[in-house]
Amino acid sequence: MMNASKWYLSILILLLVVGCGENNKGTNVLNVEQVLNKPNNYLNKNISIQGIVNKVNEDKNIFSVISEKEFNECGLGECNVNDQLPVRFSGELPGLGEKVEIAGIVKKNEKGFIYEAESVRNIKNL
């Protein structure tokens, strides 16, 4: 009887661990600060980032995002020029001030780092 109880408990724990792990897949969304602080950690990796659109350049299919913390401290504009992550996206660019979740890959270029977006999803207009 005791062995059966231990066995059931072990199975239950295993299912909980595996189930929780599966639920967390794909939900690990980084903020802009995390990527800007250690871009080499994310170089050439598929990651998701959440941020606020601070600049849009439709001619070059590029926009920049800042962290929500940076937005709350500085708003939109030039005071946070060093805290922006440039994003290249071939689809429809988001609007200024939109809170977005972006999936893509961090790449290195001649100016530093750029985030090559595969998808952009509007979370909320600020």
The number of folded domains in the chain is: 1
What pLDDT does residue 10 have? 59
What pLDDT does residue 8 have? 56
Would you write out the chain's pLDDT as a tens digit for each of its 126 residues?
Answer: 556 666 555 565 655 554 444 433 445 899 999 999 999 999 999 999 999 999 999 999 999 999 998 898 888 877 777 789 999 999 999 999 999 999 999 999 888 899 999 999 999 755
What pLDDT does residue 78 have? 72
CB neighbours of 110 closer than 8 A, spacing ≥ 6?
none
What pLDDT does residue 9 have? 57
Asked, for residue 84, whether it belongs to a domain, the answer is: yes
| 97 DSSP β-pair partners | none
Q: Give the whole-angstrom CA distance, residue 91 versus residue 121.
A: 11
Q: Give the whole-angstrom CA distance, residue 12 versus residue 97.
A: 46
pTM check: above 0.85: no
Are the C-beta atoms of residues 113 and 107 closer than 8 Å to each other?
yes
Q: Which range marks the domain in which residue 105 is found? A: 28-125
Q: Which CATH number belongs to the domain containing residue 60 in this structure?
A: 2.40.50.140
Nearest partner of 104 among 93, 120, 91, 92, judged by Cα: 120
Asked, for residue 5, whether it belongs to a domain, the answer is: no
